[in-house]
Structures are given as structure tokens and as C-alpha cells.
Amino acid sequence: MENGSAVRRNMRTRRAKGRIFSVLFLACTMVGTLVLVVLLVDVLRDGARWFDWQFITSFPSRDPEKAGLLSALFGTVWVMALTALFAFPLGVGTAVYLEEYAPDTRLRRLIQTNINNLAGVPSIVYGLLGLSLFVQFLGLGRSVLAGALTLTLMSLPVIIIAAQEAIRSVPETHRLGAFALGAARWQVVRKIVLPSALPGILTGTILAMSRAIGEAAVLIAISALVYLTFIPTGPQDRFTVLPIQIYNWVSRPQDEFQHLAAAGIILLLIVLLGMNAAAIIVRNRYQKSSEE
């Protein structure tokens, strides 16, 4: 009986500890959430009044009343579209090779270690690499193409790692089942591995794209212009992007430009959410069709 009461006492402290921990973890969650809410409220309060049709359809100007970010918006759309176009197939292809084809050699492990480290390289380094490789060496100039290729380099490690994890999570029994039916390796990859891994791959791609769209440091090195009074019409054109435009406004002393910056952030968030929504819709549609 004495033993039993000891167990009960033990239960009381354990229950108390359980409650303390659940409050602690809730507090951790709240820190992040609250900061985000405060940020959103602050940005909306500063910028909502300035966020209008004129703001979206005007080119940058010295007069804050007339200034807008049409060129930056189009620049961002151009750069992101090209980045996704390059980074997605390259990243998925690399991941498929490393997971499904590459023999387990020292070379493979070396490549893997490199990719893991590249994911942690500061973005300004990619910017400088892009400047010397694409802008100068390959002679692409300070163009949309050079910017997109540089962002592709930056996004690739994240996409590759996410795609690898997604591919690894496909049960081995599914692969074996397909092999046992006489499927060749590319058929196993195409019909079994990729459909199951696609949701995870797309989630990783969304994350990488979200990082790229807000990236100013990389493109400052490529020198995306701020005062651009035309819309880029092709990959060879010069360009600017939203985060650089916002950065430029924030660094000005006048109050009005601070409000413009906040309005720019709102637009950036809308573009970001729009992109994510599109990716999620694609993902869900694919999930359904692969289950049919």
C-alpha cells in the first residue's frame, strides 16, 4: 500500500510538470504568432492608405504621391517565373538521380555534403557569384535572365533537399512491387515515386520560392535598378524587383516613403500568398488525380 501512495504522489508531480510544459510550449508558439500579427498590423496601418490602383500602376517617382512600383512588380513576376522554370526541373532531376540512380560511393556522399552546405550559404555570396559568372563571364549583363539564374542557384539546394526527403519517404515496398511487375527503373520513378513524392516536392519548392521572392541581397549584387521607368519585356531586359524597391524607399528620410515601403510590403505579401495558393491548388489537384 505504501508503494501505491508513492506512485500516486509521483503522479501528482508528473501531472503538474505536464501542465507546466504544455503552457511553456504554448508560450513558444505565441511568441512567433504574436510577432507576426504585430508586424502585419503595423504594416497595414502604415501602408493601407497608400495601397491603391495608382500605386500599383505607376512607375517610381521622386514625388511620393505619384510613385508606384509597376516596374518592380513586373520584374518580380518575370524573375520568379524564370527561377521556377529553371530551379524546379533541375532540383527534382538532381534529387531523383541522387536517390534513385546514384551508387553509394564517396563521390555521391561528397556531392550530398556540398548540397547540404550550399543551403546554408549567405545569399550575398550567391549574388557575387551571379555577378561574376552570369553578368560578367557569360556576358548576360544585368538582365532578368542573370537575376533568375542567380536565384536559381540559391534555391536549388533547398529544392533538392526537400525533394530528396519526399522521395525517400515513398515506401520501398511500392518500388519493389513495381519492379516485380517488370517495370524498368525510369517507369518506377515516373509512375510510382514521383506521384507519391510530388506533394512534398511542391511544398519544398514553395518554401524555396518564398525565400527567393523576398530576396534583396542577391539582386542588389546583380544590381537590379530602382528607377526603372519601363516594364521588362524579355529575359534580356534590365529590371528591378519588389524587395529592392521597398529597401530603397525605407532608406529615405521622408515619412511618405516609409508609407510607400509599407504599401510595397503589402503587395509583396499578396504576390507571395498568390504564388503559394497556386502551388497548393496544383498540389491538391495532382494528389486527387494520382489517387484515382
Partner 1 sequence: MANGTALEAKNLELWYGGFQALRDVSLAVPQKRITAIIGSSGCGKSSLLRCFNRMNDLIRGCKVKGEVSFAGKNIYAADADPTDIRFRIGMVFQKPNPFPKSIFDNVAFGPRVNGLTDNLEETVDRALHRAALWDEVKDRLHNSALELSGGQQQRLCIARALALEPEVILMDEPCSALDPQATLKVEDLMGVLAEDYTIVIVTHNMQQAARVSHMTAFMNMAEDRAGVLVEYGPTPQIFTTPKNKSTEDYVSGRFG
Residues lying near partner 1 in the complex (CB under 8 A) are found at 104, 171, 173-184, 187, 191-192, 195-196, 290-292
Q: Nearer to partner 1 by C-beta: 142 or 175?
A: 175
Shortest separation between residue 218's beta carbon and partner 1, angstroms: 39
Q: Which of 230, 227, 231, 259 has its CA nearest to residue 244?
A: 227
Shortest separation between residue 289's beta carbon and partner 1, angstroms: 10
Q: Nearer to partner 1 by C-beta: 103 or 139?
A: 103
Shortest separation between residue 114's beta carbon and partner 1, angstroms: 22
Q: Nearer to partner 1 by C-beta: 179 or 247?
A: 179
Shortest separation between residue 211's beta carbon and partner 1, angstroms: 30
Shortest separation between residue 169's beta carbon and partner 1, angstroms: 12
Q: Nearer to partner 1 by C-beta: 89 or 177?
A: 177
Q: Nearer to partner 1 by C-beta: 83 or 196?
A: 196
Shortest separation between residue 2's beta carbon and partner 1, angstroms: 45
Q: CB of 56 within 8 A of CB of 267? A: yes
Q: CB of 160 within 8 A of CB of 115? A: yes
| Region of 141 on the Ramachandran plot (φ > 0 left; ψ -120 to 50 alpha; else beta) | left
Q: Nearer to partner 1 by C-beta: 4 or 103?
A: 103
Q: Spell out the SS3 assignment of the chain.
A: CHHHHHHHHHHHHHHHHHHHHHHHHHHHHHHHHHHHHHHHHHHHHHHHHHCCHHHHHCCCCCCCCCCCCHHHHHHHHHHHHHHHHHHHHHHHHHHHHHHHHCCCCHHHHHHHHHHHHHCCCCHHHHHHHHHHHHHHHCCCCCEHHHHHHHHHHHHHHHHHHHHHHHHHCCCHHHHHHHHHCCCCHHHHHHHHHHHHHHHHHHHHHHHHHHHHHCCCHHHHHHCCCCCCCCCCCCCCCECCCHHHHHHHHHCCCCHHHHHHHHHHHHHHHHHHHHHHHHHHHHHHHHHHHHHC
Shortest separation between residue 166's beta carbon and partner 1, angstroms: 14
Q: Nearer to partner 1 by C-beta: 196 or 205?
A: 196
